[in-house]
Structures are given as C-alpha cells and as structure tokens.
C-alpha cells in the first residue's frame, strides 16, 4: 500500500455540515468506500464546526479498516467562529503553536499516530514561511505528518513557502465550470515543481446552479454521455482526469453508490476534441 486512490473521498458533509451521519453510518460508509477501492480521505479541522474529524475517528476505530490500508489528509489554519470556538472574527493562524496544536488535535480526533498529508487550508497575508517550515519539519521528524501541502494557494504564495520548505500538494478549486487554474499558471507552476494536484468541488457548479453556462454544457452532455456510456457526473470527472497534471478529484458525496460511479470515471478516456467541446461550452466562446 503506497499510493493514494485517484478518487479521494471528501468528508466535509459526512457530519454536521451535511448528512449528519451517526457514528455507525460513518463506519459503514468508511468500510464501503475502502471496499470499492477508494483508500484516501480528505478532512479539515473546521469541518462540522470542528466536530467531523472526531466523529470520523470514532467510526474508524470501530471499523474493520486497518490504518495501513488508508490515507488521511487534513487541513489547518482557518480559525472559524462557531460553538466550539467563540472567536470574535474569522481569521487564519499559521503560528508555530497553532499548527502544532491543530495537528495534535487531528491525530487525537482521527485516532491515528500520523497524517499522510497536512495541508495549509488557505493562504494568510500574515504567514511567515520560516515559521511554517520550522514547525512542519519538526512534525515530520516526529513522524506526525508525512507530507506537507497547501490548499487554494496561488503560484506566488506557493513560491513564498517553497523558499523554506518542500510542498508536495496543492488542493485547488478546479472543474469544468471553474477552469481558472488551467490558465492562470497555477497548474503549470505545480507541474514544474512536482507539486501534486488535488481538486475540490470537481463537479463544479453544474448540479448547483442554473443559467447560461449550464445550458451550454447540457447541450453537449447528452450526445457525449451516450458516446462514452456514462453519466453526467462521470463525464465531468473524466474531463478533469484527462488533464496532464494528474489531478486527484476530491469527491464530496456521502452516497456509496455515487462513489462507485465516480470511480468508473477512471475508465473513460475522452477524445481531445470532446474535451475542448466541453471547455468551449463552459467558457461560452471559442478559445483565442
């Protein structure tokens, strides 16, 4: 066991921010997810108002899943006012003390001795690269984190940190309906510096928002879904998977059936013209 599954299971809506699963329901979904071949789980300390990690961790402890058969990703840095933390304002904290406390909390909540990946959740205008490098390198030496990455960082923000510490991942918003990272240099920078790409919200706004963009994409979808014998969500994932950056979609569904369908997107190889037909439909005009 030495590789993340290409489809990553996002846990943001497993708890209070979505399905409100019981511990038993989480346990069953966790076991089913691993059974179908998805071995990587994406967390963040803030999910469920700082409650989902602990619920998932209890479910994991109760489950038949072995730690060495799965990979856990978590994020830190966002300080969000909520019942668990009655803060005066939402802010970001990348002090040595806060990063260490967040990691220790995640380890305890998830019932694990290490995180496979720690991501800095969002860039802060006040972050000190030297401080982040110092504490994360210490955490690596202690065996508490294995890889370090970021989330939602621009090329210049990644470069700031890269002067002091190696970055192995960036989790960015990327999809057919949010294709900015394909053109603004983010994925180019990551490819040049061997920074892996994870994509949150990989289905974009297609199932969430109506409007001209969705109408344009929908017109293409019918014939393409028939051509590739797939569903719309599989086609959207296949479009993302086609990119040469080897993007790992973080799929946020809490349905085991939809996770099975998501994994089947790995078997779809689009023709290059179909990839660009979808891109043009999303953008609303031909490429320059």
> From residue 244, how far is each of 36, 80, 155 by CA, in Å?
25, 35, 18
Is residue 228 flagged as an active site residue? no
Q: Which of 47, 94, 206, 248 is catalytic?
A: 47
What CA–CA distances, in Å, run from 151 to 75, 83, 100, 123, 170? Answer: 8, 25, 18, 8, 5
**Number of other CB atoms surrounding residue 226 within 10 Å:** 9
The token duo for 189 is 């920078």
Q: How far apart are CA 183 and CA 207, in angstroms?
A: 23
- In whole angstroms, give the CA distance from residue 229 to residue 38: 22
Between CA 51 and CA 49 the distance in angstroms is 6
Instruction: Answer for the pair 52, 85: CB distance below 8 angstroms, yes or no.
Output: no
| Distance between start and end Cα atoms, the chain | 44
Catalytic site residues? Answer: 47
């Amino acid at each position: 066991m030495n590789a993340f599954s290409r489809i990553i299971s996002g846990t943001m809506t497993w708890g209070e921010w979505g399905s409100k699963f019981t511990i038993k329901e989480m346990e069953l979904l966790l076991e089913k997810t691993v059974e179908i071949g998805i071995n990587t789980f994406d967390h963040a300390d803030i999910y469920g108002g700082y409650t989902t990690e602990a619920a998932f961790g209890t479910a994991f402890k109760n489950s038949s899943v072995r730690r060495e058969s799965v990979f856990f990703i978590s994020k830190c840095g966002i300080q969000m006012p909520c019942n668990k933390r009655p803060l005066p304002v939402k802010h970001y904290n990348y002090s040595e003390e806060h990063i260490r406390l967040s990691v220790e909390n995640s380890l305890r909540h998830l019932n694990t001795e290490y995180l496979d990946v720690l991501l800095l959740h969002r860039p802060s205008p006040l972050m000190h690269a030297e401080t982040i490098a110092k504490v994360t390198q210490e955490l690596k030496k202690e065996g508490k984190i294995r890889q370090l990455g970021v989330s939602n960082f621009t090329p210049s923000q990644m470069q700031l940190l890269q002067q002091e510490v190696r970055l192995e991942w960036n989790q960015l918003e990327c999809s057919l309906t949010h294709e900015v990272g394909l053109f603004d240099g983010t994925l180019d920078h990551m490819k040049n510096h061997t920074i892996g790409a994870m994509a949150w919200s990989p289905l974009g706004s297609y199932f969430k928002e109506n409007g001209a963009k969705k109408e344009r994409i929908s017109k293409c979808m019918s014939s393409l879904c028939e051509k590739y014998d797939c569903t719309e969500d599989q086609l959207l994932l296949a479009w993302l998977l086609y990119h040469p950056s080897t993007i790992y979609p973080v799929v946020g569904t809490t349905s085991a059936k939809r996770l099975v369908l998501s994994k089947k997107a790995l078997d779809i190889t689009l023709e290059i013209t179909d990839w660009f037909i979808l891109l043009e439909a999303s953008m609303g005009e031909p490429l320059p």
